[in-house]
Chains A and B, each alone.
Chain A
């Protein structure tokens, strides 16, 4: 596939998403004309792009869609649910056609074509009857009505019609406003650029206010033929000078046009370039190729070609300085806009990933160099490596920033999901999206689609009750599914909530017992029971629907989230609603860590979870909590938890960590300071290991393990709960009755 096609496909997918979003908004009422315009422009751009890459089947179909949208925009067709549904189906179909293009097939296969025909028939009810749509309905190319006669020179790159019109001086006196013709022209297509020429207007003294002196140079994009364009000017045809050049005309045709028009050739050339009918190169090449200096009023000034056009024009008294200034100013703004557009660079994601990997290696070797420099004791070397470290840090941040994307786009996809799913189920459900501008790593976003899809479908399918039940419970008729995202202490939190029935705790409990997940007499809180739905093989769906009863359970959702180093929790109130809360790291590649030592081992605590460090004042109580400025701070001794041998040093330190509002202390031997670090996954062998999030390589070449603070705290909490709960709880069915062994006691 060539690059142009690839770009077209890429952009079209984005535009389709925009179209879909717009249509869904349209359906939700009170969306303004802007919205319809946006939908129309998206279709228009896809059609134009398809034309450029000469993909006729996409062009033809999108053209029909565009025509209908155009009439919606003009207010000829009212917005109705039926229209939106058909339009959404059309979006899907265009997507399918793009798939055909991606697959490299020359034409859509039977079933896709049949789908297209069906949609065409549906669109027919809104189609205009001037035969224009019918022309394209057979999928063939719209023929250009006029053959372009070649008269030397290349074909210009411009793909629009060029219309040049000079109205007769009496047109106003005949009761016609030339502007109304031009406005009428827009019903046939789109005016890309227009330039008003007043060169023919005499000085104030001679100027007759009732005469028309204006001319227009217009770039016009349309499917209509030359005859149709000419018809627009029928009423004033006899006394206006009209030139129409079809798209892809020869340069020489433009040059001929320049000569035929009354205005100065240089000025016209400049205008044609400015409105985009010709490029400067084409104009120059065309002028050179013609090699007829007399045909262009160059006045024999050899240096003229090199002097700025504006100066020449002023020199020739062709235009006044201020007109040139304004024009130049305008050209400058146009140029600025072009530059702004070209500032966006599309790059392949894997190139970016490669860069991030390299930056990761750079961070590691930078840290190692810094370490050696410190050991060497050479102050100049140390200084230079610390400058280097700072630069590497900046590069790291900048590189990671490249991959940050807003989550909104992912969220917006669910508008359609909720709409379609709720229709299928006969429910009235609205999707409320907040925090769409929250940024996170692209690699995380990509892997988030499936679990989110599952959660949203679950909410629609099982969460929101049927209308009758809602009425009974005194809830609003319309159910709400919420998607929300926000940043929280180095993590991103994504919530999927609904105001539906919530989780049926007793049913889950019964099921969990039946499935052997918990003991029959297990003592568990509602929250604990709710979170059982993430256990493997658990599903509360009483009936299998084709929406989320796809055999994929919540355990898969949890596994997906855990694979992203994230956690998922559910909060539910029966009868009121449920909310799934996903907590994810911002990036998967690099973290800032805080290095601690226990015995001979070194561990990395993710810096964003570290609150402060204090010295451990040994207590005699033997209990694992301390008094942190009047606050009770539970702590865990890593030496015991990780079974690390060796002597306990006289002074130990506590790293106070925080996660999701919960504070705890980690008791370590030594505090070794901050360290930026590249996460190396531990591999499949350690996939079930909890409490360790990954590993990293220190400057010394040694591997250090990265602590997973949330998981670590959860481990300690569950162990502690067992300690305080006398009844056997939550053991595996065949499980060891081991609660007596669960002793969390300091050895001192």
Chain B
């Protein structure tokens, strides 16, 4: 298990989940199944990304897929505590807007 189920936040179906490893192509296949099943098990999911030290296109795709699935299933999916690597990548791909999660962006501007 590379991610741990955090205690449920009380309301039925609401859950928080922390990804505790990289989100790269090497673990992408397993990660996809885990995350999709976590989404399937709850109506409201918060994904803690603070421990993601590396993310590549495979990881980005996964995040996009999850958002899309959540919307298709009428569920709420939030990404939170983005690690610097995740922030940088989401910012680079200009996905902060489409994802719509509050994200702490460091004071430097991309230039």
Contacts and interface: CB of A to CB of B under 8 A. Distances in A.
Tell me, yes or no, whether A and B come into direct contact in the complex with CB atoms closer than 8 A. Answer: yes
A564 B2 CA distance: 73
Contact of B65 (A172, A177, A190, A207): A207
A37 B109 contact: yes
B69 A204 contact: yes
Interface string B36-79: 10000000000000000000111011101101110110000000
B95 interface: yes
Contacts, number: 101
With a 10 A CB-CB cut-off, give which of A40, A178, A204 has the most chain B CB atoms. A204
A194 interface: yes
Contacts of A182: 92
B111 A40 contact: yes
B111 A196 contact: no
A33 interface: yes
Contact of B25 (A193, A201, A210, A214): A210
A173 B68 CA distance: 24
A201 B100 CA distance: 20
A183 B55 CA distance: 14
A209 B58 contact: yes
A172 B99 CA distance: 23
Given A179-B89, A321-B71, A213 B61 contact: yes
B56 A320 contact: no
A172 B25 contact: yes
B10 interface: no
B61 A326 contact: no
B28 interface: yes
Given A194-B93, A194-B94, A212 B65 contact: no
A204 B65 contact: yes
Interface string A123-148: 00000000000000000000000000
B64 A201 contact: yes
Nearest to B90: A196
Contacts of A322: 67, 71, 100
Interface string A180-201: 0011000000100111101001
Contacts of B108: 33-34, 37
A35 to B, nearest CB: 11
Given A172-B58, A214-B60, A196 B69 contact: no
Nearest to B63: A198
Nearest to A194: B94
A210 B97 CA distance: 25
Given A178-B57, A209-B58, A322-B71, A196 B29 contact: no
A321 B72 CA distance: 9
Interface in A304-330: 320-323, 325-327, 329-330
A210 B58 CA distance: 6
Interface string A154-185: 00000000000001000111000111001100
Given A183-B92, A327-B97, A329-B100, A209 B71 contact: no
With a 10 A CB-CB cut-off, give which of A44, A167, A209 has the most chain B CB atoms. A209
A41 interface: yes
B92 A194 contact: yes
A167 B58 CA distance: 12
B82 interface: no
A183 B88 CA distance: 11
A194 to B, nearest CB: 5
B93 A212 contact: no
A37 B61 contact: no
B97 A196 contact: no
A329 B58 CA distance: 26
Contacts of B29: 208-210
B10 to A, nearest CB: 25
B57 A209 contact: no
Given A209-B31, A210-B29, A210-B58, A196 B94 contact: yes
Contacts of B58: 172, 209-210, 212
Interface in B1-52: 24-25, 28-29, 31-32, 36
A43 B19 CA distance: 42
B100 A326 contact: yes
A212 B100 contact: no
**Sorted from nearest, which 7 A-B pairs have the closest CB atoms?**
A330-B97, A209-B28, A209-B32, A177-B56, A196-B93, A322-B71, A172-B25
14 contacts: A172-B25, A172-B56, A172-B58, A177-B57, A179-B60, A194-B94, A204-B65, A209-B28, A212-B57, A320-B68, A322-B71, A322-B100, A326-B98, A330-B97
Interface of A: 33-34, 37, 40-41, 44, 167, 171-173, 177-179, 182-183, 190, 193-196, 198, 201, 204, 207-210, 212-214, 216, 320-323, 325-327, 329-330, 333
Interface of B: 24-25, 28-29, 31-32, 36, 56-58, 60-62, 64-65, 67-69, 71-72, 89, 92-95, 97-100, 107-109, 111
